A = this chain, B = another copy of it.
Amino acid sequence: MFKGVFKIDKKIIESLDKAGYRLTQPRKAILEVMKENKGQHLTAEEVLLAARDKAPNIGIATVYRCLESLTSMDILYKTTFDEGKYRYELSDEEIHRHHHVICPACGKISEVEEDLLCSLEQHLEDQGYEVVDHHLKVYAYCPECIPK
């Protein structure tokens, strides 16, 4: 098993191990970057720049590959705010993915931790679906931007 690992959650280390991934320098750097930026939504380019402080030779291809595999094991969330590129953030601990509220005026992104989709999910289950995940973006003027 991996040794000499600090800064990174044991649970994540175990997931990597279980999936047969090595804990390489680039992966360690990226995981640290994502942890240090909890609550933010970073592009691959932003991750690359931040990760270079920890692993100076890391390349963009590695960043993409790593973000992709971490996403596939639910360690990261991959989202888009319709800018033509993806953004990544550390997954929630809980089962339910949080929602995003985007202000059309100032562009600020807020998070909604509450699920509040029960009626929708119940509706689907009544029809024989089995819900596994969801992505909800709400466009809403934030309190500071409400047009008077």
Q: Which residues of A contact B (CB under 8 A)?
A: 78, 80, 82, 99, 101, 104, 112, 114, 116-121, 123-124, 127-143, 146
Contact in complex: B114, A116 (CB < 8 Å):
no
Contact in complex: A123, B116 (CB < 8 Å):
yes
Bound form: Cα–Cα A124–B130 in Å: 27
Contact in complex: A140, B136 (CB < 8 Å):
no
Contact in complex: A138, B143 (CB < 8 Å):
no
Supposing A80-B80, A119-B119, A137-B135 touch, asked if A127 and B99 sit within 8 A by C-beta, the answer is: no
Contact in complex: B130, A140 (CB < 8 Å):
yes
Contact in complex: A142, B129 (CB < 8 Å):
yes
List of B residues within 8 angstroms of A129 by Cβ: 101, 140-143
22 contacts between A and B (CB under 8 A): A78-B82, A80-B80, A80-B82, A101-B124, A112-B123, A116-B117, A116-B123, A119-B119, A120-B136, A121-B138, A128-B142, A128-B146, A129-B140, A129-B141, A129-B143, A130-B146, A131-B140, A133-B139, A134-B136, A134-B137, A134-B138, A135-B135
Interface centre among A80, A128, A134, A140 (most CB of B within 10 A): A140
Q: In the complex, which of the residues B118, B119, B124, B138 contacts A140, with contact meaning CB atoms closer than 8 Å?
A: B124
Bound form: Cα–Cα A132–B132 in Å: 27
List of B residues within 8 angstroms of A124 by Cβ: 101, 112, 138, 140
Q: Using CB atoms, name the residue of chain B closest to A145.
A: B130
